[in-house]
Structures are given as C-alpha cells and as structure tokens.
Amino acid sequence: MNQVLFSPIAIAGLSHHTATVDMLEAFRFPDEEAFLRKAKDRFRGILLLQTCNRIEILAHGEASSLVSLLQEEGREDFSVLSGIDALRHLLELAAGMDSMIIGEDQIIGQLKTALDFARERGCASPVLELCVNKAVHAGIEVRKQTQINRGAVSIGSAAVLLAEEQLGSLEGKRILVVGSGEMGMLVAQALAAKQLTAIYVANRTYGRAEVLAKKIGGKAVRLDDLPRYMLLSDVVISCTSAPHPVIHCDDLKEIMRGRCWPLEGHPRPLILVDIAQPRDVEEGAEAIDGVHLFTIDSLRQINENTMNSRKSEAAKARAYLDDELAHFIRLLNGKAADDTLAILHTWAESIRTRERDRAISRIGTGDERTREIVDDLTRVLANKILSDVTFSIRLCAEEGDLDYAESLVAAITRGERLCFRNKE
C-alpha cells in the first residue's frame, strides 16, 4: 500500500517530554472556547487537548496554517507533526505510550471529552471525529491485547506513591485532597486502599466534596477551611482546575507556625503534592520552613521505573499500533473519496429523477401509490448499478490511488478517457 494520506492532518503542541511545568502553564489556553472559535474559521476541524502534562491541538487542515495560528497566539517552542506522523502520534497518545505514566488509562477519557467539547461548538469535522474515535478504539484494544497498563498508575495515584515514598508509609496518616474532579477521584481511589487515620476532601463546590468523601469514607471540607485541615494533615495533594493558586504562601507560613512542636524551632513537615495545571500552590511555597513541595516534574522518576518494568509489553503494543496505523490510513483515505463519490451519485440522481418523471408522465395522472412505486424502483436500480463502482472507487482511495478513482468517475459521468493504473 502506498504510504500517502489524502486528508491534511496536523498536530502541534508540547508535553512533559520537553516542557517543564512552567512552560506548560505558559502555553496553556485558559479560554478554550475562544481559541476554538478563532481556529474554526481556518480549519475544517479543530480540537484542543489540555491535560496536566500536555497541550496539543489536532487540526483537520495544513500544518503550516496551524503553526501560523499558534504563533499569532504568542506560542513558541512547540512541536508539529503532519500526515502519517500525526496519525501515529495520535495512536500512541491514546494507547498511553506517550504519557508520563506509560499505559495510564485517563487519556482515553480526556480525548473523548476534548472531542465532545469541539463537537458541541461545531468544530469537529467528520475526518477529525474519525481520527479521534479510531485512536480511542485502538487505545482500548491495545490495553486488552497487551499488559501495557498492568500495574500502571495515573498521575493521581503516582502522586500517592510519591507521598508514600517520602513518609515510608501512609499508615495512620492524615491526607487532604484538594479538588474533587476526575484527578481528585483518582487520587482518592488510590488513597482509599491505604490504612489512613483520615482522608479529607476539599472542593470549591461543597456538594461535590461530599459526594467524593462519601465514596471513599472520608470527610468533606469547605475550601474556606483549608488552613485548618492543612494544619492537621501530613500530606496535601492538590489537583483543582482553578485558573489561579488556591494555596497561598501567607496562609502556609501561618499554618507552619501552627505546626511547630513545643520546645522545637522547626515545624512538623508538610508534604505538598501539586499536580494541578495551572498550579494550585503559589510560587515560593517551597522556601517556607517545613514545606516539602512536589510537582508534576517530580513524578518523572515514577514513570521511568514503571516503563522499565514493561519494556516487553511496550514492544507488543507498538507492533499492534503499527498494524492499526495501516488500517487508520486506509480508513481516512477511503473517507477522502467522499467528494469524488458525491459527483458520481449526484450525476446518477439527476438521471434517475429525470427518467422517473418521464415514466410517471407516460403513465398519466397515476395515483400517489404508483408514484411511490416508480420512485422506489428507480432509486433501487440506481443504487444497485452504482454499488460495485462505489466500492471500487473507495478501494482505490484506500490503496492510495485517488487519481484513478477520480478518472473512473470522469469516465462514467463525462465520457472521458480512463487513465489506467500504474501497476508497478
């Protein structure tokens, strides 16, 4: 099969591979809807994926146009992939092969959510939807056929492992989770298996904190009460979606003064794990006595350990994705034949309706039932006649020969000479 892609596909952005937390934060689009609205006029389809360790834009359009748009938006130092390379990256992304925590499952839901967001705003072209849905399907299947996610952890559960490493054990500890969204749920689920003295769940919406706390046997906390419960906790894991810090240095200084043991000059240590993007903990917190701050960058070592234990499964996963890529290209190229097929079917429909009307006219003023029968008959005949040639045209496109498909349609509809395929 010729390695050619007829639909222009491009992906641009940056991730944990080359970007620090600060770089990701600077690159992020705080108003996703405004960005899609601007991009919608330039691309047939556009999707924005923003997670705690990556920002990527998938476009049904030319890579050069995507680069221009991002530069206009003041974004720099991003990577760009187009065509088959973009498809390969999308498959690896959905399979968890490109994640900080190799094999993590959260990316599947994040891709679906990004597609839904784009679709609701009229930014998801049929080609873009096909790309994401195919990648999601491949991501699910690769996890079934390999053990790439066996023992895998999400960013949330990796944060729990990091806290456990710092304390030696979480048994008997008090943990505060700030944020009750998807990431907060992952953190809480990982904590629920530990022998903790208490789990506190804080959220801007108290009702959501109550729901999550009830699921894990914890206690819901109002965001205004954060300082009080930070004073009580051994570990704070923060993962809100707030656009600004929710844990401030002034509050932390006061909290750490309250954590000082009598007769000792230093406070009881407080482990802060900030896995939010943008960050939840105000800059400078790590300089406060007794505060041990960890961010997404701190989780890289956990990923390295996880990947080392799964090299053989990763090889199996890549072999599966190579096969899926070939199928992916065929699907997209087949989709590219739609415009060519539309010409054929429009031509056939014009003939069908003309001859239908002539037949009905010859019958005379037939009743409505007769008209329906003639209409159904001509429609069925046209579809039957076009069935095989439609299949052939789409097959030509799938195999990378759209020129021959277009030549075939021109020969049928305009009587042009058929350009024979090069069989070399």
Question: Are the C-beta atoms of residues 104 and 149 closer than 8 Å to each other?
Answer: yes
Distances (CA, A) of 231 to 166, 228, 251, 260: 18, 5, 10, 10
> Catalytic amino acids?
52
CA-angle at 16, arms to 12 and 17, nearest 5°: 80
